[in-house]
Amino acid sequence: MDVLKLKEEFNKIYGEGEVRVFHSPGRVNLIGEHIDYNGGYVFPCALEFGTFGLVRERGDRKVNLASTNFDLKVSVDLDNIVYKEEDDWANYPKGVMKVMSDIGYRLSGMDILISGNIPNGAGLSSSASLELLIAVIIDTLFNGGTADRVELVKLSQKAENTFVGVNCGIMDQFAVGMGKKNKAILLDCATLKYNYASVELGDYTLVIMNTNKRRALNESKYNERRAECDEALSILQKETDIKALCDLTAEEFDKLEHLLTKENVKNRAKHAVYENERTKKAYEALNSGCIEEFGKLLKASHDSLRDLYEVTGRELDTIVAESLKIEGCIGARMTGAGFGGCAIALVKKDKVDSFMEQVKKNYKELIGYEPSFYLSGIGEGTEEIILSCK
């Protein structure tokens, strides 16, 4: 996206003057799926593409929100921030403003233009990207830019949970806010302790594949899975002293699983425990350069999300299965919440073009429409972009 063009667009909407520019990435999760809310390890990274935010202070109590992606423009009164269904995408920025103002951050009027490059509904966290963008803008413009970044991450998640009403875990906001160029983040969601890991894939590269199936029904299914995990946890807590499902090792789980008499509840819990172990192994594999092992773990993760957690669906299963059939691909899995959206594949660098061509053809034959592919490097977390010219 051309930032100078965006500035012109901003000036057209709001008039000439100084503009500050911020960027917030999307994210992709390498492995550790549906376990952030089970106290497990996740292994995401920020992407190079994301959401731009152009902003100018107004000096009053009004925030104007416009976007190059949607026609809808919304004006927010900072002294009366309420959720409105018709405000659609603007509820994400509004939620962050509300949460920040409630806990004592200073806020003042702004004109804002948002421009996103993250395909909507692809499961690459366009909403967390927008939330962190607004949080960092408010911190930088009105609060001296001194807020602890993890605090901004947590309050963005809170905005999504309490204002927008999506009961997501911490992973997306953490990856977006704490992302580092060329690094993935191994995050322990129970303690929020984290490690950056270099992503050295040797002869391989990561291909992001969008099924182009939008994640319909996603929220209700997501909440259903969370409830099933809570049910498993409360049953297991009668016999063992754990705070979250991922406190159990696979061995411990195997001894206790007979307590879970409902098949679906047992399967969800089993996925959580084993996925957590896989994530730790994947981190080790990457650190020691065992890319093939890393690929196998990706594949096992997908199998478990399909068979035990049941969050994949025909499109994701097809794209992953077709990917694995093609020479040069050593691992693939869905990423994010599932039920559509994106998958990732680990593919030999010199085979990427033929890989994409083949998968596109085969997927289209089976599903009826084409997937999209993104080759993104690993980008920085949310930041202000200082331009050398006005």
137 vs 171, beta carbon nearer ligand GLA: 171
| Active site (annotated) includes residue 203 | no
CA 242 to CA 273: how far, in whole Å?
A: 12
Instruction: State which of residues 10, 37, 52, 92 lies at the interface with ligand GLA (CB under 6 A).
Output: 37
CB closer to ligand GLA out of 171 and 330 = 171
Q: What's the one-letter identity of residue 342? A: C
Do 277 and 249 form a contact (C-beta atoms < 8 A)? yes
CA distances from 41 to 32, 188, 276, 278, 282 (A): 6, 5, 6, 9, 11
Cβ atoms 337, 304 nearer than 8 A: no
**Binding piece for ligand GLA, criterion CB under 6 A, among 29-37, 198-206, 257-265, 280-288:** 29-37
Q: How far is Cα 211 from Cα 222, in angstroms, rounded to an integer?
A: 19
Residue type, 118: I
Which residue number, 133 or 356, has a Cβ lying nearer to ligand GLA? 133
Q: Nearest to residue 46, comparing CAs of 176, 187, 206?
A: 176
Give me the least distance between CB of 337 and ligand GLA, in Å please.
4
- For ligand GLA (CB under 6 A), the number of binding residues is 10
Find the binder of ligand GLA among 22, 24, 34, 136 (CB under 6 A): 34
> Residue 260 is encoded by which pair of tokens?
């879970």
The answer to whether 36 contacts ligand GLA (rule: CB under 6 A) is: yes
Position 183, amino acid: K
Of the listed pieces 33-41, 143-151, 351-359, 360-368, which binds ligand GLA according to CB under 6 A? 33-41
Is residue 33 close enough to count as binding ligand GLA by CB under 6 A? yes
Span from 31-39, 207-215, 231-239, 255-263 in contact with ligand GLA (CB under 6 A): 31-39
93 interacts with ligand GLA by CB under 6 A: no
Contacting ligand GLA (CB under 6 A), which of 30, 337, 344, 378? Answer: 337
Q: Which is nearer to ligand GLA, 119 or 328 (CB)?
A: 119
Nearer to ligand GLA, 49 or 355 (CB): 49
145-184: contacts with ligand GLA (CB under 6 A): 168-169, 171-172
Q: Rounded to the nearest 5°, which phi and psi values hold at 175?
A: -65, -40
Q: In which residue are the tokens 């063992």 written?
A: 240
Distance CA(43)–CA(29), nearest Å, equals 6
Say which of 36, 139, 172, 247 is annotated catalytic.
Answer: 172
Residues 345, 346, 349, 351: is their CA dihedral positive or negative? Answer: negative
CA 346 to chain centroid, in Å, comes to 19
Q: Least distance from C-beta 350 to ligand GLA, angstroms? A: 31
User: Whose CA is closest to 148, among 105, 95, 190, 91?
Assistant: 105
Supply the residues annotated as catalytic. Answer: 172
Applying CB under 6 A, which residues contact ligand GLA? 33-34, 36-37, 168-169, 171-172, 336-337
